[in-house]
Structure 1
Amino acid sequence: MSKASLQDQLLKAGLAKKSGKQPKQKKSAWGRVNRHDKDANTRPSAEIEAAKKAAAEKRERERQQARETSARQREEEQRRAQRAEVRQLILDHAEKLASHGEPFYFIDQGRISSLPVDARLRRGLAARKLRLAIWEKRYYIVSATTAEKIAQRDPAFLIALPSGGEIRDPAYAEFSVPDDLIW
């Protein structure tokens, strides 16, 4: 049995090259070793590709979340602006309520409520020239044109009044019903 030299064994294993001495790698101007080898595989590995793909997907998800967040913020700003406009309309154009007057009854969210009104306000409410609005749990009487502007922004701030005295039975057509009894 002949023993092969270490170099022969390394050549058979593919761990060494036949040429004796390897040339030194040249250093660049910055002191780094130039590692560009002609035999090196220039294609990135599958792991690197998978990492790049995952990073791109993550960036896209983050962009999508940022778009959704900014859209929600814009909608919230619009709602706040509309509420501010409604508040301004109600408070600026509200009719002055009588401190001592006849109560005007109406239904708000299933509850019977009342406001003290004088004869002029009662006639306006009955004729639908005036409407009821609510802001921070207080009731205000506003004109019909102001009510239309409020309804364009958010109709939830208006109180629906009952339709005015339609009589279904012709036998009672000649009798009038007071406005505050019409629900």
Structure 2
Amino acid sequence: MSSLQDQLLKAGLVDNKKAKAISKEKRKQNKVAKKSSQPVVDETKAAAERARAEKVARDRALNAEREAAAQQKAIAAQIKQMVANNKQPKGNGDVAYNFTFDKKIKSIYVTEAVRNHLAAGRLMIVGLDEQFELVPRVIAEKISERNPAAVVQPPADSAAPDEDDPYADFQIPDDLMW
């Protein structure tokens, strides 16, 4: 096997004069390195090592992003399956049940019995692909562990009124529906 220098000479890419000058320069570098007992820093090797390290870092970051996306997809599939397996019938009711989802007021029509279950907290609403389904509280808590934004939180019972509340003296009627 001939050296790269010989191959370049045969191909006519370099001439003898240039090849000799390069070998002479290389011998000088080796001689200086032996005398000073300091290793010669090869810029190309250092640049190649840096490039390899950067590529490894980029690959790790890309893999982390892919794993995060796959994890999100798996969680979405789990939520969808839980809702599909445990959704409760809404009934063809005429009672509108209003709730807030993504800072917007939404409403679903349910029967009076389902509305009572929602008000008591036995059933909860889960928002899935712009559709709302009713699921038992236990399932909603499991879904909330995976994605808290998917579960509509029941209205907070304000048993203890604020001392700064200007409407504290006014009682809210029990049959008020909003």
By the TM > 0.5 criterion, same fold?
Answer: yes
Equivalent residue letter for 1:110: K
Count how many residue pairs are aligned between Structure 1 and Structure 2: 147
Q: Distance in 2 between matches of 1:110 and 1:145?
A: 24
Structure 1: gaps of 5 or more residues: 1-29, 34-39
| Aligned partner of residue 141 in structure 1, secondary structure | strand
Equivalent residue letter for 1:43: N
Distance 1:105 1:171, change over 3 A: closer
Aligned to 2:30: 43
Instruction: Give TM-score, length-normalised by structure 1.
Output: 0.68
Deviation at 1:98, TM superposition (A): 1.2
Deviation string 1:71-115 (CA, Å, 9 cap, x unpaired) is: 111111101000110111112211111123311111223332211
Corresponding residue to 2:175 among 157, 174, 178: 178
CA-based RMSD of the aligned residues comes to: 3.2
Q: Distance in 2 between matches of 1:107 and 1:152?
A: 19
Q: Distance in 1 between matches of 2:114 and 2:49?
A: 66
Native 8 Å contact 1:131 1:144 kept in 2: yes
| Aligned partner of residue 127 in structure 2, secondary structure | strand
Distance 1:101 1:164, change over 3 A: farther
Instruction: Give TM-score, length-normalised by structure 2.
Output: 0.70
Q: Within the alignment, does 1:151 sit opposite 2:134 as a pair?
A: no
Q: Distance in 1 between matches of 2:42 and 2:156?
A: 70
Distance 1:91 1:104, change over 3 A: same
Aligned to 2:17: none
Q: Distance in 2 between matches of 1:159 and 1:66?
A: 38
Aligned to 1:129: 122
**How do 1:40-119 residues align onto structure 2 when only pairs under 5 Å count?**
40-41=27-28, 43=30, 49-119=42-112
Structure 2: gaps of 5 or more residues: 7-26, 34-38, 162-167
Q: Distance in 2 between matches of 1:31 and 1:163?
A: 83
Native 8 Å contact 2:29 2:40 kept in 1: no
Aligned to 1:163: 156
| Aligned partner of residue 43 in structure 1, secondary structure | helix
Native 8 Å contact 1:94 1:140 kept in 2: yes
Compare relative contact order (CA 8 Å, sep 6+) and give the higher one, 1 or 2.
Answer: 1
